[in-house]
Amino acid sequence: MIGPIFSSLTSISTYLMVRQIRSRGAGLLAASFIATIPSYISRSVAGSYDNEAVAIFALTFTFYLYLKSIRTGSMFWGVCASCSYFYMVSSWGGYTFIINLIPIHALALLIIDKFSSKLYTGYSMFIINGTLLAMVLPVVGFNAVETSEHFSGFFVLALMNGVALVKYLKGTLTEAAYKKALRLFVTTSIAVMGVISLGVITFAMTSPTLRWSGRSLSLLDPTYASKYIPIIASVSEHQAPAWSSFINDLRTAIILMASGIISCFRPLSEGSLFLVIWGVLSVYFSAVMVRLMLVLAPVACCLAGIALSDVLEVLCRSAKYSSDNNQPETQKVEKKKKGKQSSNRRNSASGSKYGLIPRSLALLGIAGIIFVLSYHLFHCSFLGGEGYSSPSIILQSRSRDGGTYVFDDYREGYSWLRENTDYDAKVASWWDYGYQTTAMADRTVLVDNNTWNNTHIATVGRAMASPEKKAWDQFRKLDVDYVFVIFGGLVGYSSDDINKFLWMVRIGGGVYGDIKERDYIGEGYYRIDEKASKTMLNTLMYKLSYYRFAEIVGRDGQDRVRGTKMGNPDVKLTYFQEVFTSKHWMLRIYKVLDKPNLAA
Amino acid sequence: MSRVSIPDLGEIVGVFRKEYAKTPKLVKVVDCFIVYAVTTALLQYSYMLICGSFPYNAFLAGLGCSLGFAILTVCFRMQINEGKMLEKVFADYCVACIFLFLVAISYVG
């Protein structure tokens, strides 16, 4: 239930945020967009949510409270904003986005000369309290004052203090004295700040712990991960998104987002500037990694809500007040004075009657918008249901008469492990299946989805890529009892371990020097047929996947995923013994023998 | 941009003193408070330079508390208009102070 509860809370906080920036109508539209957008649904669907469901709620709520504290200048809201920031830090590592976005926004406000005591109050409360609170969490600890990701907050705070001092002097000193004082202050402060910044930057660059962490660097430089950290590059969610995923995940919101950015400039307030900066930055980051499309989703919804509310405001006003003939212009001339006195807060009941269009056109426009929105809703619910709601542990396909056929191999394998092995048995597999094995098979695994320990995963990868005897030695040293692989060759399941094998080689090779990727690639490209490299045909992964496969499909039989014949149909195992193969040969479990099987 | 010389500096300080004498008494009290908070922060920092920074979290908590309190009082001063104290601003200030001290105490360990 956590997913739906938090996504409804996200809708509410998005409404509050956009209502404060623009008007109630824009808030409602933005909330309805974020309630239905597939990108967010993918992370918050009931039954398969991720911690980002909670994190996006914390994000929008923090931004709402922060914008409110800047607008009212009250310290109480600043305290609330930092509490919400604390919640955000404890829920997702993406909090570094907030702690950099807010200083950038404050810097932009300082540059366009919108400094006020309210900005100072809100910002400084947020940074000071937020940093202290973030340090309380063990995960962040001293990182909050030491790593480069947090420096921008302090830098802008120092800058803001300087600007506050200058404004105060301007208020107190006389004109001539102020000019001289300003000159003096500016020169000394530039010198001091320059020296300090230079010192901090050189110190941070040379020290290995203070530099930007690997995760942040892989965001700033998209090619970083593939060169230095293969485990980050191997996750499919970390690849750059295709155009289709932008349209698929965000549909109408991404199209309206551009006009939303333009709408934000008329008029430009602190809140709308914040949305613009947030939007531009998240477009860059979501283009680096598919996973970060999630950060683009809330701002795309807000901007789309603003754009749509602007359009609807004109249309609805026209539908209400104008008629079909030439009257709108005379009405415009008459009511212009009234229009100029209308309040800043753009509510659709403001009563200003300029810019009307003929009534029939207005009604046509409204009907068009209703059509577009309902199409968007239809698409979102379709994608949410079909695309993002199916559990990945049970696969299904359509059979010839239209019914669904279920592949339940994963659960079959896990329940075999649960029933037929000792409670203390240790199971080795690739890290993708770790959490599932721990939860469903209830056995200890070597590596799981929490990929914190790169060396350990590299050890398993190296073992999978070694010849059988060496792999047996390594697994015996690690005290492993069972090894399992996922094999899709019989049914055509393409996310199996043979397809992931090159990543095992890369990650293993990143830590151990004796595994080289070149050795595993056959003639021309990575293949497993007769032109595969000798090393590849001797690896444990190949043997465990294709053991006895020739008995089912024949010696010349085809592997349905690769579409080629096997390179070595006679696979013999001396150190491992097959104990279980699931119904569609998708999950194959092998026991690690104490002594080699001499009879084989 | 002509250089600012020492007599100019003296002139600036003199003008500042004259103008500052005009500020209301309440605001001057708050200003003293700010100076006191910044002094405690400087004292803690110099102690760290002399005696080392173990335990680090205690040092950070103490320093953060003093600096935070200084900034809070600056915000409070900015909101007091011409020596007129509004109840709401003072209540905000108290809540923020209590919160800051709570967080700092929990972090001192």
Residue A555 confidence (pLDDT): 81
The reply to whether omega before A267 is within 30° of 0 (cis) is: yes
Residue A549 confidence (pLDDT): 87
Residue A218 confidence (pLDDT): 67
Are the beta carbons of A99 and A149 closer than 8 angstroms?
Answer: yes
Q: Which residues of chain A lie closer than 8 angstroms to B76, CB-CB?
A: 75
The share of chain A scoring above pLDDT 90, in percent, equals 15
Longest dimension (CA), chain B: 53
3-state secondary structure of A346: coil
A482 or A396, higher pLDDT:
A482
Half-sphere exposure of A455 (CA within 13 A, CB side): 0
- Sequence-separated (6 or more) residues with CB below 8 Å from residue A212: A147, A148, A149, A220
Half-sphere exposure of A160 (CA within 13 A, CB side): 30
Identify the top-confidence range among A7-16, A112-121, A325-334: A7-16
Q: Give the least confident one: A334-348, A381-395, A543-557.
A: A334-348
Residue A353 confidence (pLDDT): 57
Q: Which helix (H) or strand (E) holds A530?
A: none
CA distance linking residue A176 with residue A163, whole number of Å: 19
Identify the top-confidence range among A81-85, A151-155, A159-163, A290-294: A81-85
Backbone angles phi, psi at A558, to 5 degrees: -105, 145
Region A552-556: mean pLDDT is 83
The reply to whether omega before A467 is within 30° of 0 (cis) is: no
Chain A residues 151-180 within an 8 A CB cutoff of chain B: 164, 169, 172-174, 177, 180
Residue B25 confidence (pLDDT): 81
pLDDT at residue A593 tops 70:
yes
- Sequence-separated (6 or more) residues with CB below 8 Å from residue A257: A250, A279, A299, A300, A303, A304, A307
pLDDT at residue A89 tops 80:
yes
Least Cα distance to A416 among A246, A581, A226 occurs for A581
Region A130-134: mean pLDDT is 89
Q: Give the least confident one: A225-229, A241-245, A512-516, B41-45.
A: A225-229
A425 DSSP assignment: -
Smallest CA–CA distance from B23 into chain A, residue: A172
Longest dimension (CA), chain A: 103
CA distance linking residue B107 with residue B103, whole number of Å: 6
Residue A338 confidence (pLDDT): 42
Are the beta carbons of A588 and A544 closer than 8 angstroms?
Answer: yes
Residue A335 confidence (pLDDT): 43
Report chain A's mean pLDDT, rounded to a whole number: 82
pLDDT at residue B36 tops 90:
yes
Residue A47 confidence (pLDDT): 60
Q: Which residues of chain B lie closer than 8 angstroms to A142, CB-CB?
A: 56-57, 60
- CB contact (8 A) between residue B95 and residue A135: no
CA distance B51 to chain A (A): 20
Q: What confidence tens digit (pLDDT) does each residue in A397-421 have?
A: 777 777 778 888 888 899 999 998 8
pLDDT at residue A186 tops 90:
no
pLDDT at residue A124 tops 60:
yes
Token pair for A385? 């249901």
Q: What confidence tens digit (pLDDT) does each residue in A269-291 have?
A: 888 899 999 999 998 888 888 87
CA distance linking residue A215 with residue A36, whole number of Å: 30
B66: pLDDT confidence band, cut at 50, 70 and 90? very high
Residue A340 confidence (pLDDT): 40
- Report ipTM for this prediction: 0.89
- Sequence-separated (6 or more) residues with CB below 8 Å from residue A428: A445, A446, A447, A460, A463, A475, A478, A480, A482, A483, A484
- CB contact (8 A) between residue A135 and residue B107: yes
- CB contact (8 A) between residue B57 and residue A76: no
CA distances from A349 to A24, A25, A313, A407 (A): 11, 10, 9, 57
CA distances from A458 to A83, A511, A513 (A): 39, 6, 11
Region A551-564: mean pLDDT is 83
Token pair for A216? 């942040």
pLDDT at residue A84 tops 90:
yes
Residue A227 confidence (pLDDT): 67
